[in-house]
Amino acid sequence: MREEEKIAAGILFSPADPELVAIKLRTHNLNVDYNQTYEDETEKRQAILNEILGEAGEGLFIQGPITFHYGKHTKIGKRVFINFNLTIQDDAEVTIGDDCNFGPNVTIVTPVHPLLPDERKALLTASGEKKHLCYARPVHIGKDCWLGASVTICPGVTIGDNCVIGAGSVVTRDIPEGCFAAGNPCRVIRKLSEQDSMKYQPQILADNRIIEP
């Protein structure tokens, strides 16, 4: 079994495998290319994202700078806006649904290392070879989610559709759809409802209006 297949299977793999190293090096170099573009170089930016990502939906905008680890393991939907300093360590699959908005400094991580120090240094492979091994858990973010500034999503987390994650949260477990969640560790504060409409904040809404369905 190839090391990339081991990642998908959720079992230990060697991040130093030459095939994986080549994927990461290519992506890391493309990160640099993207980060050296100007904001209005839209076609150039889109072309680079198409090379980096497994899927880049129409209308995707990433402010930059960006840091993708593999890139090809990340799929981002349509009309997604992502602010400054996105980091996605996508050893395992990462999916981000349509119409999501991310604040600055959002980090998504998928790899997990053994807890015991000796095992972090090395484990024995099936052939008896000592190697540094880790494993990874996928992250899935639904559609229409808003992640505040400096949110960290930990390995294996799924966030349902229509969620708001408060700034600075560290999300260590799944968040059901339609919730406001915040904290470290992140927890559900309450379900979002019609009472959260801007029409109930006229002092902020001012002379603007809600678009009625």
What is the set of active-site residues? 113
**Residue 104: C-alpha distances to residues 61, 66, 173, 191 (Å):** 13, 11, 21, 24
Please confirm whether the linkage preceding 65 is cis (ω < 30° from 0): yes
What single-letter amino acid sits at 128? G
Q: What is the H or E stretch that residue 165 is in?
A: strand 164-165
CA 109 to chain CA centroid, Å, is 7
Q: The tokens 């708001």 sit on which residue?
A: 164
Instruction: Report d(CA 70, CA 111) in Å as an integer.
Output: 12
